[in-house]
Amino acid sequence: MLIGSVCGAPFLVLSDVYGRRSVNFAGNALTIIAAIMQSQAPNLPVFMVGRFILGFGTALCTSSQYMAEIAPVHLRVGRGYPAGTDRQGRLVGIFGACFQIGSVVMGGAMVGFSRWDTSDWQWRLPILLQCVGPVFVCSSIYFLCPETPRYLIMKGRYDEARAVIAKTMTTHNDINAPIVPVVFRQIEESLESATAGTKTLRAAWDFRVFFTRRVAFRTSIIVVYSW
C-alpha cells in the first residue's frame, strides 16, 4: 500500500489540470476497486495488487486540499484574511481529526470481527468496508459540491469562481456581497505569488521547489510527520 501511495503521489499535479473534484473522484473510485479486489481475492498476488491500487487511490484523494480551498474564510487555514477573522482552521482541523476517529472506531470493530472465526469473512468483510466512504463520495458528494474557486480562477473561469465564492461565503448566494471581490483578489494574489516563486521550475514534474528555502521547513514537517 505504501508503495502504491508513493507511486500515486506525483499524479496529484493532475488536480491543477482536471480539478480537485475530478482527481478526488478518481482516487475514491480506485479505493472502491481496491477494496473489492482485496475482499474477494482468491490468492495472495491478487490481494497484493489490491493493496497497491488502494495506496495509489488514497494518494489521489484531494479532500484536504478541497476542504482548505472551499471552506469559508473564517473557518479555514490561511494567511492574509481580513482582521478579526478566525485563523484556527477549524474545518480543516476537524477534517484531520476524523482520520483518528475513524481509526479508533474501526479498531473497535476489528475486535468484534476477530471473534468470527468460522468464516474467512472475518477478514474479508472489514476490508470490504473500506469502500463504504468512497461509495458515498462518488455517488453523492462529487455531484453536490462545486469545484473550488482557486481552480476556477486558475483556468480563467472567473464568473464561475465568483458564483462559488458567493455560494460558500455568503448567506444568500449574493455575488455582489463585499466579501466576494476581496476573496477573489486574495486567490489571484496567491496564485501570482505561487507562480513567481516557481517561475524557474517550469516542468510540472520538477519537485526541486520542495527543497528551496521558501518551502523547506514545510517539507521537513511532512517528512517528520511521515516518520
Identify the structural domains of the chain with CATH numbers, from first to last.
1-145 (1.20.1250.20), 147-227 (no CATH)
Higher pLDDT, 85 or 65: 65
> Are 38 and 127 in contact, with CB atoms under 8 Å apart?
yes
Give me 84's grid cell: 478579526
Looking at the whole model, is its pTM more than 0.75?
yes
> What is the rounded average pLDDT for all residues in the chain?
85
* Ranges 14-18, 39-43, 85-89, 112-116: which has the least confidence: 85-89
pLDDT value at 153 more than 90: yes
Tens of pLDDT, residues 177-204: 899 999 999 899 888 877 765 555 455 5
Euclidean distance between CA atoms 191 and 194, whole angstroms = 5
**Residue type at 211?**
F
With cell 472502491, the residue in question is 32
Helix (H, G, I), strand (E, B) or coil at 186: helix
Question: How much is the pLDDT for 44?
Answer: 96
Q: Which of these, 227, 150, 224, lies nearest to 191 by C-alpha position?
A: 150
CA distances to 66, 75, 97, 98 from 92, in Å: 10, 8, 9, 10
Euclidean distance between CA atoms 58 and 101, whole angstroms = 18
**Percentage of residues in the chain with pLDDT exceeding 90?**
45
What single-letter DSSP state applies at residue 86? -
Give me 16's grid cell: 491543477
**Residue type at 51?**
R
Euclidean distance between CA atoms 109 and 126, whole angstroms = 8
With cell 449574493, the residue in question is 174
Higher pLDDT, 215 or 48: 48
Question: How much is the pLDDT for 202?
Answer: 53
